[in-house]
Amino acid sequence: MEENSTYDQKSLRIVKGITADWDELAKDCVAFANGKGGCIFIGLEDGENEPPNDQKISDALIKKIIKTIPQRTHSVAITASKIVRPNGGELIKLEIIRSAQTIASTTNGRYYIRMADESKPILPDELTRVAAEKQAFVWEEKVVRKIPYQNAQPERIDDFIRDIKNSDRVSAFVKQMPLEELLEYYFFVKDGFLTNLGVLWLGERRDRASLYYAPAIQFIKYDENDRKVNKVIWDDFSLNPKQLLSEIIALPDWKESIEVSDGLFRKNIPNYDLEIIRELIVNALVHRVYTMRGDIFINLHTDRLEIHSPGLLPLGVTPSNIISKSVYRNSHLAKVFYDLKLMEKEGSGYDKVYEVLLFNGKPEPIVEEWDDRVVVTILKNILNSEVVRLMSKANEDFTLTQKEIIALGLIAQSGSMPTLLLSNKLSLRNEDSLKYWIGNLLKKEIILSTGKTKATEYFVNPTLLKQLDFKGKTDLKKIETHRLEQLILEDLKIYQPCPIGDLHQRIGKEINQKRIKRQLDKMIAEGKIEGIGERRWRTYRTI
C-alpha cells in the first residue's frame, strides 16, 4: 500500500534499540492528528508490504509506545495493537485519532500536518487557518438542531436511496443496509437526528435555511462591455446540492460552441464543456467553507468563465500544485458526490478539467487565491485549431491516458517544452515522476526529446505533424546546437560586446534563455568567445 495522507509505515528500528527515534514518531502522530487521522504500521521496511516472517512484537513494546507518545505530544489520541500477518510476521498498528477541536503539537511546541505522504511543519501564520479548517472538517457531522431523520423530505430520501442503488460505485453491502444505518453510513444521521450534512442533502427548506451557511449560487452573464445581461440566483435554500448542480448544468448558455475543421469534416467544440462545468461547480460545493458566509458566483463573460468560491484552498493545496493534490475539505460530502457519480473522483477533479481543456486546444485553467475566495478562470478561445486535430488523431491512433493527454496537450501548445517547465506545470516534485506522464508518449514516438538531464526538451514528432499536414507556426525552439552556435557568432560579430538579454531578443525570443546561457558558457570554454564582467553586467564578444 502506498503511503498517503492517512497511511504511513515505519521500520521497527524507530522504536527499538539505539536507533529509536521517538521525536520523529511523535512528529508524525501530531501531523496525522492535525490532518484526517490515520494509521502508522511499525515493522515494515520501505517498499515492503509484509514484515519478516520471524519478526515478533512484545507486549512491553506496545505498552511503551502507548506511554511514550502522549508524553511527547499534546492533544494526540492513539491506540496501538499487534497485528499478525499471514506469513507469521508481526507488526504494530498505531492508529492516530483526528484532533477535531484542538491543534495537536509536540511537547517542545512544534506543529505539523499530514499532506499527501509527508508530515509538514505548520508555520506560525498558518495556525489560525488550521484552526478554521478544523471547524470546517467537523461541520458535516454536527447536529445543531435536533431534527429526527423521519422529518426529512420523503422524496429526497427516496431519491437518495434510488441513486445509491443505481450506482456502480457503491458496494452491494452498503446498498442492502437498513435506511437508518445507510443514512448513518453517509453521516446524514447521528443518534437518530439529521447532521448538518443530512439537513443539506435531505432536509426541508426551512431547516436548510437555518444552516450556517447553506450554499447560495449566483449566475451572472455579461456582454462585451461587461454589462449584466442575465442573472439567475439560487438563494432560497429549496434545493439540495444535487438539484443545484442539475439546474446549473441545464442553463442554455452552455450550448454555445465553436466549429473547427477536422479533416473532411467539421467538429463542434463547446465554449465551455459540460464536464468542466460539472467538475468546477462540484469543486465549489465540495471544497466550500461551510462555516463562513459567502455566495458562489458563476460569472460568464464574452471571453471567459469565472467561478468564485468563498474561502481559501485547503491547507497544502496551492494554485501551482492543484492538478496533483487530492485534498478535500468536506470529505463526507465529497464521498456522496462521488458515490452518486456526480463527480469524476474523490479529490480535486482538476486533472479532468486539464484533460478536457488541453484536448480541445484550450489553455489551462487559471486558479487564483484571493484574500477571501478562490477564483477559477476558463478561457473560451481555442489557442490553435491545429492542436485540436493533433490531439484527436493521437488519441484515436494510440488511445491515450488522461496523464498522456495532459502532457501532450501542454507540449503541443508550446511547440517544445523543457523538462523543468513541464515538471512545474504538472506539479511534480522531481523529474523521475515525469516518466509516468510521458513514458509511453516517448515509447510510441508521439513525442521526441533532445538534450540530456535537466536540459532535455520535448516536442511532437515531426513525422506525426507531417502526416496531419499540421500548419503550426515555425520557430527556433528546437534549433540544433551547432546552428544555435552559428547564430550567436553571427550576432556577436555585428553587435559585440552585448549582454545576453539583447542577444536573446535578436536571435529569437522563443529560444529558452537558459539554453542560450549554456551555449555561451560552452563557447567560452572552447575559446570561441569571451565573457566580460559578472552576473547582470556580463557581456560577450568574439575572440
Q: How confident is the model at residue 479 (pLDDT cuts 50, 70, 90)?
A: confident
Residue closest to 415 by CA, chosen among 380, 462, 453: 462
Region of poorest pLDDT, from 185-199, 460-474, 492-506: 460-474
CB 156 within 8 A of CB 202: yes
Q: Are residues 102 and 48 in the same domain?
A: yes
pLDDT at 265: 63
Match 461587461 to its residue by C-alpha cell.
226
125: left (phi over 0), alpha (psi -120 to 50) or beta: alpha
Q: Are residues 421 and 517 in the same domain?
A: no
Dump pLDDT digits (tens) for 330-353: 889 999 999 999 987 655 568 899
In the chain, how many domains are there? 4
Q: Is residue 514 domain-resident?
A: yes
Q: Is residue 460 domain-resident?
A: yes
Residue closest to 9 by CA, chosen among 55, 58, 45: 45
Dump pLDDT digits (tens) for 368-412: 998 889 999 999 999 888 888 889 889 988 899 999 999 999 999
pLDDT at 135: 65
pLDDT at 101: 77
Structure-model confidence comparison of residues 101 and 264, the more confident one: 101
Q: Is the peptide bond before 7 cis (omega within 30 degrees of 0)?
A: no
Q: Are residues 419 and 338 in the same domain?
A: no
Give the CATH number of the domain where residue 436 resides: 1.10.10.10
pLDDT at 137: 64
The phi, psi pair for 228, rounded to 5°, reads -70, 130
pLDDT at 288: 85
The count of residues in the chain is 543
- Relative to beta strand 457-460, strand 529-532 is unpaired
Q: How confident is the model at residue 482 (pLDDT cuts 50, 70, 90)?
A: confident
pLDDT at 543: 85
Q: Are residues 522 and 487 in the same domain?
A: yes
Residue closest to 217 by CA, chosen among 200, 196, 190, 237: 237
pLDDT at 330: 86
Q: Is residue 234 domain-resident?
A: no
Question: Domain boundary at 58, 89, 122, which?
Answer: 122
Q: Are residues 494 and 363 in the same domain?
A: no
Q: Are residues 363 and 509 in the same domain?
A: no
Determine how many CB atoms are found less than 10 A away from the CB of residue 24.
12
Dump pLDDT digits (tens) for 484-527: 999 999 999 989 999 999 999 998 888 888 889 989 999 999 99
Dump pLDDT digits (tens) for 238-257: 999 999 999 999 999 999 98
CB 454 within 8 A of CB 431: yes
The average pLDDT across 204-227 equals 93
- CA 49 – CA 85 distance, rounded (Å): 10
Question: Domain boundary at 86, 102, 122, which?
Answer: 122
The three-state secondary structure class of 269 is: strand
pLDDT at 161: 96
Q: How confident is the model at residue 268 (pLDDT cuts 50, 70, 90)?
A: confident
CB 339 within 8 A of CB 345: no
The three cell numbers locating residue 364: 489551462
Q: Is residue 205 domain-resident?
A: no
- CA 451 – CA 484 distance, rounded (Å): 14
The three-state secondary structure class of 232 is: strand
Domain limits for position 514? 481-542
The average pLDDT across 93-102 equals 89
Q: Are residues 359 and 391 in the same domain?
A: no
pLDDT at 144: 87
Dump pLDDT digits (tens) for 127-179: 877 877 776 667 898 998 899 999 999 999 999 999 999 999 999 999 999 99
The three-state secondary structure class of 138 is: helix
Q: Is residue 492 domain-resident?
A: yes
The three-state secondary structure class of 443 is: helix
Q: Are residues 364 and 430 in the same domain?
A: no
Q: Is residue 215 domain-resident?
A: no
Q: Is residue 116 domain-resident?
A: yes
Long-range contacts of 275-280 (CB under 8 A, 24+ apart): 275/344, 275/352, 275/356, 276/352, 276/353, 276/356, 276/357, 276/378, 277/248, 277/249, 278/245, 278/249, 278/342, 278/343, 279/343, 279/344, 279/349, 279/350, 279/352, 279/353, 280/307, 280/353, 280/376, 280/378
Q: Are residues 356 and 415 in the same domain?
A: no
pLDDT at 324: 75
pLDDT at 123: 84
Q: For 378-417, give the DSSP string.
A: EE-S-S-HHHHHHHHHHHHHH---HHHHHHHHHHHHHSEE
Question: What is the rounded average pLDDT for all residues in the chain?
Answer: 89
Q: How confident is the model at residue 258 (pLDDT cuts 50, 70, 90)?
A: confident
pLDDT at 473: 62
Dump pLDDT digits (tens) for 217-230: 999 999 999 999 99
What DSSP element (H or E) covers 26? helix 22-34
pLDDT at 291: 79
CB 139 within 8 A of CB 291: yes
Q: How confident is the model at residue 467 (pLDDT cuts 50, 70, 90)?
A: confident
Tell me, what amino acid is at 184? E
The three-state secondary structure class of 272 is: coil
Q: Is residue 22 domain-resident?
A: yes
Q: Are residues 374 and 225 in the same domain?
A: yes
Q: Are residues 413 and 451 in the same domain?
A: yes
Question: Domain boundary at 62, 97, 122, which?
Answer: 122
The three cell numbers locating residue 90: 508481526
Give the CATH number of the domain where residue 348 resides: 3.30.565.60
Residue 221: DSSP 8-state: E
Q: Are residues 89 and 25 in the same domain?
A: yes
pLDDT at 309: 93
pLDDT at residue 278 tops 80 = yes
The average pLDDT across 354-359 equals 94
